[in-house]
Amino acid sequence: MTMIDLRDFRFLEAVAETGSVTRAAGRLGCVQSNVTTRLRKLEDRLGQKLVERIDGRMVPTAAGALALDYGARIVRLSEEAEKRLRSAAEAFPPLRLGTMETTAAVRLPPLLKAARAKLPDLRLSITTGTSGELVAALGRGDIDLAFVAEEAAEARFASVPLFEEELVEVLPIGGAAEAAAVVFRAGCCYRARFAEAFGDLPLLELGTLDGIMGCVAAGLGRTLLPAAAVERWRRAGEVETRSLPAGRRLVRTLALFRPASPSRRSIDALVGLAGV
């Protein structure tokens, strides 16, 4: 079924306010037959008589008054949507950011604080996931910008280096842990780095940084994560960390995005802040 033409409500409104099809036509700058035809089409569509003649004046029926109320609200929402979208286009387009959980925990808060101060008109929505999940979401168009580990980058996306992280082995205090890898879901590059460093161990998969650190602190296994992401647990005496060999220690976080993204202005602004 086709939508009601918003202009039909304006014709009904003009008749109701002027009390005359002739005067409504004059206000709208059209011929009288056009007003009559519009009204009749709207009445036929709604199955209701919308205006009636009383003492020589066209007045809304009860159904007409209801139609006018809905019409006014629809027109107002339409105008509001157009205003907000035009405003967004003039400033910064809405931006959907996807980020790794560890980046969200440590790097994102100061970036968001800076964005609030320097980009107050930027409308930002945030989701978290593994690097693999975020690259797939970027490819589907579900997000506009992804903060991912360098290993997950694909040539079809533009990329900008953001942060360099030092990876550390994380163990319970005393180092006595079960022979298990406590890791994020498949698609996590830190999980892949763990397998490279320590071989294939039984996996305990969790979806949050808090969950992983809680299990490691309880002695259920060990993990490999950025030192900055686990620092508060180390300081609290809940876990201990060990350095990795120089060749395995560092990993870069990149900003990935589609070069022709409609949100490019917002992407450039946010990524620029991250590099400050």
pLDDT at residue 121 is higher than 70: yes
pLDDT at residue 113 is higher than 90: yes
Asked, colleague to colleague, whether 6-89 and 165-250 share their fold, the answer is: no
Domain definitions of the chain by residue range = 6-89, 95-163+251-274, 165-250
For 6-51, give the DSSP string. HHHHHHHHHHHHHS-HHHHHHHHTS-HHHHHHHHHHHHHHHTS--E
* Whole-number pLDDT of residue 88: 56
> Which of the residue ranges 4-8, 45-49, 191-195 would you say has the lowest mean pLDDT?
4-8
Query: Topology of domain 95-163+251-274, per CATH?
Result: D-Maltodextrin-Binding Protein; domain 2 (3.40.190)
**Residues paired with 144 in a beta bridge:** none
| % pLDDT > 90, the chain | 57
pLDDT at residue 10 is higher than 60: yes
137 against 121, higher pLDDT: 137
CATH of domain 6-89: 1.10.10.10
Helices (H), 154-202: 189-198
pLDDT at residue 177 is higher than 80: no
Q: What's the pLDDT tens digit per position in 50-68?
A: 889 998 898 889 998 998 8
Task: Give the CA dihedral 162, 163, 169, 170, nearest 10 degrees.
Answer: -100
Q: How far apart, in Å, are the Cα atoms of 82 and each of 79, 94, 147? A: 5, 14, 31
What homologous superfamily is domain 165-250 in, according to CATH?
Periplasmic binding protein-like II (3.40.190.10)
Residue 176 CB: number of other CB atoms within 10 A?
A: 8
Whether the CB-CB separation of 270 and 115 falls below 8 Å is answered with yes
* Whole-number pLDDT of residue 111: 95
What mean pLDDT is reported for the chain?
Answer: 90
Per-residue tokens: 49: 């008589």
Q: What's the pLDDT tens digit per position in 196-224?
A: 888 888 999 998 999 999 999 999 999 99
Q: What's the pLDDT tens digit per position in 36-50?
A: 998 898 888 889 898
pTM score, whole prediction: 0.69
pLDDT at residue 276 is higher than 60: no
